[in-house]
Structure 1
Amino acid sequence: MEAALARFRQVGDRWGRAAVLPMRARLRRYDDLDGALADLREARTSAGEFGSLSLGDQLYGDLRWIDVHVRRGDTAFPADHARTLVAGARAALRLALGDPSGAEEALREAYAAALATRELPALSLVTVNAAALAEARGRQRESAVLLGAAARLRGTHDRTDPQVRELTRRGRTALGEDGFAAAYAKGWELDTRAAVDAARAVFRSP
């Protein structure tokens, strides 16, 4: 593993580093928690240069992150991060089952937990789910604005996440290319505070 990492660094292969660093972190967590955390941070940064991971890869990576923090005794951060992921997954499930009210309840919990993490990417995930809820209630323009706000919180446009892609496709169908682009741009142009607050509008509306 050390040899592979050295070679990937030597040739500048970022994908290789992103793949090997979490493997090394799994070993280092047994006697070097700071080193394991540093590996996971570097892996996350490297992976972020290639766009969003699949939902499964994101969840697996978050579980490794939580494990290291729990071993370090940093229980407040991973608990909030885990609550964000679990409540977000529950919201997506309720929407898939045709239960917007249940989804809203789960999203309220996910949003509160994401705020507690103080991480904008965590809030971005919740905002994407809020966009899905707005769409389920027939508010396509609001959904597009929320997708733009989620991109602002993430710091980049996500062109690979299946949920974002599908919401974008349906939004363009409903609003037209220009209408969707204008609504998305409105969310993208929000300042950070306004982007953080954007999802709350979904919770306040029936």
Structure 2
Amino acid sequence: MTRVLLVDDDALVRSALAMMLDGAEGIAVVAEACDGAEVPDAVAAHFPDVVLMDLRMPRVGGIEATRRLRRLPRPPEVIVLTTFDTDDNVVAALRAGAGGFLLKDSPPARIVAAIHRVAAGEPMLSPQITRRLMESVTTRADAYRRAVDALAALTPREHEVALAVARGEGNAEIAGTLGMSVPTVKSHVSRILAKLALNNRTQLALLAHDADLI
């Protein structure tokens, strides 16, 4: 029997989840909590195997509550169940130690399956989340490759100047650091922008960021 703790600041959501899981085979809802701050005590008192965790709650949110739980000697698994599916939320939850991330409009069967899978140590993401993460990774990978390829066209000296510009250094500072005159720095910057088809220093900084150089 998989023991489940429900954590959500909305009593109606907790009630609906409890009713849904009540008839699920092999699952027992052992406790409820209305805020992440209550989770450690609830876990200590009821020993759940899986915590269904809301993301946004008044005092302690789901990500911080998950982070605290995962520091315990024998922590329960966590599934974040939320209406917020931004990339930052997903990544933050997974980094905090969540084993699953589902949207609240997921079909009941998917939530039940997620509980069983995560309890067995297998990760579970909703199809929408998986698709968005894959698109995000692909987009970032493409941006990285484009940036690296573009910067490869620079000479070693231009590369040094480009990195200094990307770090926000002014012409005088770059000149002092690299041992060249200010007019020479300006000439390098103009040549770099033209070579990379960029309009300004900000775009150069973004390109360096995409290439993981800053």
Q: TM-score w.r.t. structure 1 length? A: 0.27
Return the index of the structure with the highest Cα Rg.
2
Question: Which has a greater percent of helix?
Answer: 1
Please state which structure has a larger fraction of its residues in strand. Answer: 2
